[in-house]
Structure 1
Amino acid sequence: MAVDMKNVVKPFQWRRNFRIKGQAVTLRPANEDDAAELAQRLAKVVEEQVYLDQTPDKKPNKEDERAEIRKIQDNGGMYTVVEVDGKISGVALLIRGSEGVSHHTAKFRTWLVPGYRGTGLGKKLMEYTIEWASRKGIEKINLDVWSSNNRAIQLYKKYGFRLEGRRRRQAILKGKYVDEIFMSRFL
């Protein structure tokens, strides 16, 4: 009897290697040894004061990142790093809801350091995240994004996220008010 390969479910590849624009890229689960580099790279994103709800006076540190990795993974969530030519260039996180209440949902967080946005890494992280979530029984992915981040909003829409709400004038970025947009995708 022949096996129809279209219907065969392939095992989830926790570690994925590929090339983008000639550079070696790896998506893999974070580990606590990544904490120092993660804190350093995240600080660059925080300094921009454009994408995250953090201020430069509260820069991430190694201990906080190590605790965050452990907490997310211990709660059944996903903390994935993207390495480009061996250096961490961004992350994708799924933070699961409370056990017994909203554990079937997860909040999506992501960031890429300057120089790696618009390269296709966001698409790869989104595909990885959605597949990971569906394999882990997550039924709904939630996220929030600043209204000024059009590139991210278009990416989320492309991958099936829909508007759920908006907080008007929620933040001031670079001297201008921006809305906080809430989006979700059911799996």
Structure 2
Amino acid sequence: MAVELQNAVASFHERQTHHTKDGHTVTIRPAESERDASEIRRRLARVVKEGVYLDETPDSLGDTGKKKDEIREIQKGGGMYTVVEVDGTIAGVALLRRGSKGISYHTAKFRTWLIPRYRGMGLGKKLMNYSIDWARANGIEKVNLDVWSNNDRAIQLYKKYGFRVEGRLRRQAILKGEYVDEVFMGLFLKPQPVENE
């Protein structure tokens, strides 16, 4: 297991560039609070306005200063705040927020979003691969996330990567006039000991 972790650390690159079949350049890199916060906030506001994927409102977004603080706080806390760019334009983010030191620091909560224009390009898969590789390289043992039950596309993607449903809050939100559950999923990156009953 130690050798596996060393290989993950050695092979992981924080800045990655890919090229799509139709000629776009995709760059995944750590967010820079001063450079990226304003654009991230504008892009996130676009996703929040859809009222479908995130449990936020335009009023809860805060200003650019708050976004700068969030980026710095997550990164200084040992977490990951990453942007994905398509031809130099931020198309979305992925983040891993570490748990509390001494209690749940071995875990991280995953969150991601893409603006509508860039969905369907395979960026979600690229961000998922990047995030899992980053988590392994940084000693995270378990990644958690939550997703609305009507987001079948995301749930299927998470399951493909090995996430398992760990619980749900029934009728937790009303989206477009219908109740949806909040589904909690987890991915263990380290083999688990067999539990005795």
* Deviation sequence 1:159-179 (CA, Å, 0-9, x none): 000000010100011111110
Map 1:175-186 to 2 at 5 A: 175-186=177-188
Alpha carbons 1:43, 1:60 under 8 Å: kept: no
State TM-score, norm by structure 1. 0.93
Aligned to 2:194: none
1:57 deviation in Å? 3.2
The 4+ residue runs of structure 1 with deviation greater than 2 A are 8-11, 56-61
2:170 to 168, 171, 184: 168
Q: Unaligned 5+ residue runs, structure 2?
A: 1-5, 190-197
Aligned to 1:138: 140
Q: Unaligned 5+ residue runs, structure 1?
A: 1-7
1:61 deviation in Å? 2.3
CA distance in 2, matches of 1:41, 1:55: 13
Letter in 2 for 1:131: D
Map 1:1-187 to 2 at 5 A: 9=7, 10-20=10-20, 21-32=22-33, 33-187=35-189
Instruction: Calculate percent identity across the aligned residue pairs.
Output: 65
Letter in 2 for 1:48: E
CA distance in 2, matches of 1:14, 1:168: 38
CA distance in 1, matches of 2:151, 2:117: 16
- Whichever structure has more helix as a proportion of its residues is 2
1:15 deviation in Å? 0.4
Letter in 1 for 2:27: T
SS of residue paired to 2:11:
coil
